[in-house]
Structure 1
């Protein structure tokens, strides 16, 4: 996310039947997305070409990005023109990993958690957990987090993928209860 530019935040403009950067399209549309095509890696590319993806944005993110862009516009005189980053320092410079960790921990401390015990990468694990707990198929989760297959998602995030582990038992309960057999009671 540190490499995300405003050109990669897009709105679907129905009259043009295409995605247009919000700087041109504005915020008066029904669908928004972000192109996850860049990275802070040495050559600026994502980890793999298959990691490139376009993610539709939920309305809560659209609202936050709109406020952020307005705030940045209010402070435009402070930022160098060569940087059009969505997430940057107050002076418009790219964020370092240390900047992100520090600010992330400040937010957690304000929320009553111990910020020093958390790292930003744990938001990725939380994202997988929340989607998994809401029944999103592992294949969809895998694509959303940029994995080539479900193998990495299942291996790295195995503790967060609760519904996948429950499907077998749920199916068996349904099969055996339909067959007239007794099913185990919950504890």
Structure 2
């Protein structure tokens, strides 16, 4: 699966449960993610691209089950340090407002996503399912080539999220870079609703 997808969506939404020392988080019993959409935003000849991404159901319930499939490719090996610039915007009164970087969440620059991946899945530990089953890598280096994740089932557990992230329409852009060269760009739009 394409690294840009993991890093863009993962850094903004799914690393939160790992970061238990973050202040201002609240446990939300149920969140719905609706209207998930994505597109590549890099140059037509960008080395790293997401080719397909399918997520169901719509809405996705958290906690709950999710089915996803994806394919992507990179024409260059992705190695440390692998920088990611994330821009997160929230719709407020019909205007898109950039969410600042607060405690590594929001519109942030991550100097080395490889190190973040190592924190999520320490070296020497097998990649989580279903990546392990399909022989897909979950940490750097990512060799040049094509990656494909067939339709797979995931369970999304209860999460602690910042209060400002629990309801609203969001746009996220992640730009992947290495040695000051842009390798790929992904834009995601979605809505979050919580009770």
> TM bucket by the smaller chain?
under 0.3
Report which of the two has the higher share of helix: 1
Report which of the two has the higher share of strand: 2
Question: Which structure has more RCO (C-alpha within 8 Å, separation ≥ 6)?
Answer: 2
What's the TM-score once normalised by structure 2's chain length? 0.26
Instruction: Choose 1 or 2 for highest CA Rg.
Output: 1
What's the TM-score once normalised by structure 1's chain length? 0.27
